[in-house]
Structure 1
Amino acid sequence: MTVRRVVFLLVPQLHLLDLAGPAQVFSTANDLGCGYELSYVAEQEDIPTAQGVPLKAAIEWPELGERDLIVVPGWRAPTLRRHGALGTAMLDRLVAHHTAGGTVASVCAGADALGRAGLLDGRRCTTHHDVQEELARRYPRATVVRDVLYVTDDRVVTSAGIASGIDLALHLVAVHHGAATAARVARSMVVYARRNGDQQQTSAMLRHRTHLSDAVHRAQDLIDARYTSTLPLGRLAAAVGLSERTLTRRFTAATGLTPLRYQQELRIEHAEHLISQGSTVEAAARSVGFQDARMLRRLRGRPQRVPSTPAPQP
């Protein structure tokens, strides 16, 4: 079995999950016989993290070949302008590895390191939704793909924030060892689902939770738990102690959606995941609560509502 090296390039103030998520994926894959060897390198031995846990890293790099991977985890930075302290020598390492046929990857703000190295020029990429516009301004020769989990372009793989590093790593395991192996890794890690790269960074459950209305949050909790079931508006309103009219008014003001439309978005999102995993449209429709595929097909063709920041609701 040929060993594939995965080198994590550590930057001070890195986010632990940016590192631990992908590292766990490759470590678990190695336990399943995939032959990964993990290394951690940095410009200094002692690496402070954003969460306060100190890390130790090697200064010397292992020998790398074209089968191997370098991953740059992200770090805490309100803006990319306050980038991680990677010197020219480390950036040159990234370029040299890619030029020799290797793969480089980033999680979250780690994309900025690839941008500084020139590896995003002329390529598609992504990053955390909070800094994607800044990434586009800093590297105008790159094409920043907004609100996706990860993007692969010519052995440069970039992912969104924090937990999406798990999705990126599972994708690379699938590329190297097949989708079935990646699914085994995901199951071992108790990951809810192996998501495709073009899925949105936030789920419908999160996109419409930026408001301050307790009653609407309670209604959403009920819908989230029973989105496949028929939920009469009267029963939903009674459960949160409001009239039907008041609940509809507050729900729409807080989320931009009616309760029914919110439930439909949940159903569509779950159906899309099932379809991406090989389910037929008919089977996916029935699994999420539609009587048949006609309604699902019609709703899939309808533009999604992107929530604005609502005024606080009582």
Structure 2
Amino acid sequence: MSSNRVIFLIFDSVHLLDLAGAVTVFYESGCCGKHYDMRYVSPYQNPATSSGLGFSNVEPLSSVTVNKNDIVIVAGMEIKKWNRADDQLWIPWLQAAAATGATISSICTAAFALAAAGLLNGQNCTTHWAWTTILQQKYPLLKVMDNKLFVQSGRIFTSAGIATGIDLALYLIEEQHGAAFACLVAKDMVVYVRRDGTEAQNSIYLQNRQHINHHIHQVQDHIVKHLHHKLKIEQLAELVFISPRNLTRLFKSATGTTIGQYIQSLRQEKAKHLLKTKHKIAWVAKECGFSSPAQLRKSVKEA
């Protein structure tokens, strides 16, 4: 079997972007030089999307035997139309796939399917923000996490859904082919690369981005682009039309760090990088937003 095989499990009433986002990442990987054999399986002969579009080129589950090198991705579905009477059509297959050691991933509400199959018992996981509370209530053995793009527990991944399926797929690409290639695929797709936060960040542009708060992402983008300026919380708050006090609270909740600490860490890392390029220290200090070369030296020494 190819070690670069991705198997998409499709339920009836699947959400189109949950499926298409991840599919596109692996398709674009092929366009960038790393091909994936993509298979589409379903317990139903002609599953349809929640928006009414139907599929015809879908194989029965029995036609694909999963091995440990495969990636299985279960796309999210409309829970209200999810037919639990059909559990035995797919649960044994999914359990067998997990037992091989294959990578099992859910996008959005598909976390409910992984939970129903018993794959998330005692594990950290997530789903779309509108369903995290219900998932936890329905499956109390789970450790459901809020405000995460995606969560890894061993070789099982769960994502927050919709566009975060793209983030998860890019991370899986990075696992196999490295960060540089994942960034190339992201650039080809014209999307911003974010990270789960369990791995060391290799770029100042990606630090503390493991959340789904759009306003905080806007503030982070502004900070990164304006490190050479004096950054005031009042001005940052005006960017997203919230109070400075509320921004301070939301920023810490989303990122796990304060705005001041975030700015300081970015300035320190940028300074370390620029100093290696043999620029004059006075220029580096100004470019990174330090008031003087002495302040830069002190900050870098403390980092």
Same fold (TM over 0.5): yes
**More displaced stretch, 66-75 vs 56-65:** 56-65
SS of the aligned residue for 1:183 comes to helix
Report whether the alignment pairs 1:91 with 2:91: yes
Matching residue within 205, 210, 215 for 1:204: 215
Query: 2:147 matched to which residue of 1?
Result: 147
1:120-175 Cα shifts (integer Å, max 9, x gaps):
00211111111111111111111112111111112111000200000101111111
Q: Distance between the aligned counterparts of 1:98 and 1:224, measured in 2?
A: 42
Whole-Å separation in 2 of the counterparts to 1:180 and 1:15: 30
Q: Does the 8 Å CA contact 2:151/2:196 hold for their aligned counterparts?
A: no
Correspondence for 1:195: 195
Shift of 1:178: 1.2
Structure 1 residue aligned with 2:77: 75
Residue in structure 1 matched with residue 182 of structure 2 by the alignment: 182
SS at match of 1:41: strand
Deviation at 1:89, TM superposition (A): 2.9
- The aligned residue for residue 297 of structure 1 is none
SS in 2 for 1:141: coil
Alpha-carbon distance in 2 for matches of 1:290, 1:205: 21
Identity %: 31
SS at match of 2:79: coil
Report if the CA contact (8 A) 1:11-1:47 is conserved. yes
Higher helix share: 2
Does the CA contact (< 8 Å) of 2:108 and 2:160 recur in 1? yes
> What's the CA shift string for 1:262-303, capped at 9, x where partnerless?
9x999x88x969x79xx816479x99x972399xxxxxxxxx
Task: Please say if residues 13 and 47 of structure 1, whose CA atoms lie closer than 8 Å, have aligned partners that are also in contact.
Answer: yes
In structure 1, stretches of 5+ residues that fail to align are 208-219, 237-246, 295-314
How does 1:104-143 map onto structure 2 within 5 Å?
Answer: 104-143=104-143
The answer on whether the counterparts of 1:14 and 1:48 sit within 8 Å (CA) in structure 2 is: yes
Per-residue deviation, residues 220-271 of structure 1 (Å, max 9, x unmatched):
9xx97998367999xx9xxxxxxxxxx99xx99x735469969x999x88x9
Q: Does 1:58 align with 2:45?
A: no
Judge conservation of contact 2:74–2:107 (CA < 8 Å) in 1.
yes
* Alpha-carbon shift at residue 76 of structure 1 (Å): 2.5
- Give 1:238-277 correspondences, 5 Å limit: 255-257=242-244
CA distance in 2 between partners of 1:126 and 1:226 (Å): 28
Residue pair 1:103, 1:156 contacting (<8 A) in 2 also? yes
In 1, Cα distance between equivalents of 2:231 and 2:143: 43
| In 2, Cα distance between equivalents of 1:19 and 1:139 | 24
Tell me, which stretches of 5 or more residues in structure 2 are unaligned? 199-209, 274-283, 296-303
Q: Conserved in 2, the CA contact under 8 Å of 1:120 and 1:142?
A: yes
Distance across 2 between alignment mates of 1:173 and 1:121: 26
CA distance in 2, matches of 1:280, 1:224: 17
Name the residue aligned to 1:169.
169
Distance across 1 between alignment mates of 2:224 and 2:154? 42
Residues 223 and 231 of structure 2 are in contact (CA less than 8 Å); yes or no, is this contact kept in structure 1? no
Whether the 8 Å CA contact 2:12–2:82 is kept in 1: the answer is no
Residue 280 of structure 1 corresponds to 269
Write the distance in 1 (CA, Å) between the matches of 2:153 and 2:232. 47
CA contact (8 A) 1:3 1:35 kept: no
State whether residues 45 and 59 of structure 2, in contact with CA within 8 Å, keep that contact through their aligned partners in structure 1. Answer: yes
User: CA, structure 1 residues 88+32, in 2 after alignment: closer, same or farther (shift >3 Å)?
Assistant: same
Most deviating of 28-37 and 104-113 = 28-37
The answer as to whether partners of 1:186 and 1:194 remain within 8 angstroms in 2 is no
Q: Secondary structure at the match of 2:106?
A: strand
Deviation digits for residues 49-84 of structure 1, max 9, x if unmatched? 122222222224323211001111111337xxx645
- Matching residue within 289, 292, 295 for 1:291: 289
State the aligned residue count: 260
DSSP-derived class of the 1:17 partner: helix
TM-score w.r.t. the length of structure 1 is: 0.68
Residues 104, 155 of structure 1: 8 Å contact kept: yes
